[in-house]
């Protein structure tokens, strides 16, 4: 019952929660550069320290691009596993 009914119905909601969590991780990982742990946030913090706003913009665009790509991939995955979508295809 769980594997045939409940899990397929809950899977899009579970993936929606994962989408939010992954975007939070990307945003938090950007802040890791503040304590010299590297990552894409390094461009933002280095640019702010040097008043190089072009570098800040590059870092922000990279982080935004990564977040959009991950969100898009997970949205496609959630759409692919939704029960309504699968029942139409069969």
- Global confidence as pTM: 0.79
What is the 8-class DSSP label of residue 2?
Answer: I
89 within a domain of the structure (yes/no): no
Q: What's the CA gap between 18 and 33, in Å, rounded?
A: 24
2 within a domain of the structure (yes/no): no
53 within a domain of the structure (yes/no): yes
Q: Containing domain of residue 52, as a range?
A: 17-80
CA atoms within 13 A on the CB side of 52: 11
Res 26: pLDDT: 92
Which run of H or E residues covers position 56?
helix 53-81
Each residue of 28-78: pLDDT tens digit? 888 888 888 888 899 999 999 999 999 999 999 999 999 999 999 999 998
4 within a domain of the structure (yes/no): no
Each residue of 61-73: pLDDT tens digit? 999 999 999 999 9
Give CA 73 to chain center in angstroms.
9
Q: What's the CA gap between 32 and 51, in Å, rounded?
A: 20
């Amino acid at each position: 019952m769980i594997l045939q009914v409940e899990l397929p119905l809950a899977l899009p909601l579970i993936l929606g929660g994962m989408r939010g969590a992954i975007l939070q991780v990307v945003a938090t990982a950007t802040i890791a550069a503040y304590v010299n742990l590297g990552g894409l946030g390094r461009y933002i913090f280095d640019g702010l320290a040097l008043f190089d706003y072009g570098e800040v913009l590059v870092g922000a665009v990279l982080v935004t691009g990564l977040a959009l790509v991950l969100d898009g991939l997970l949205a496609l995955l959630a759409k692919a596993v939704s029960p309504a979508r699968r029942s139409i295809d069969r």
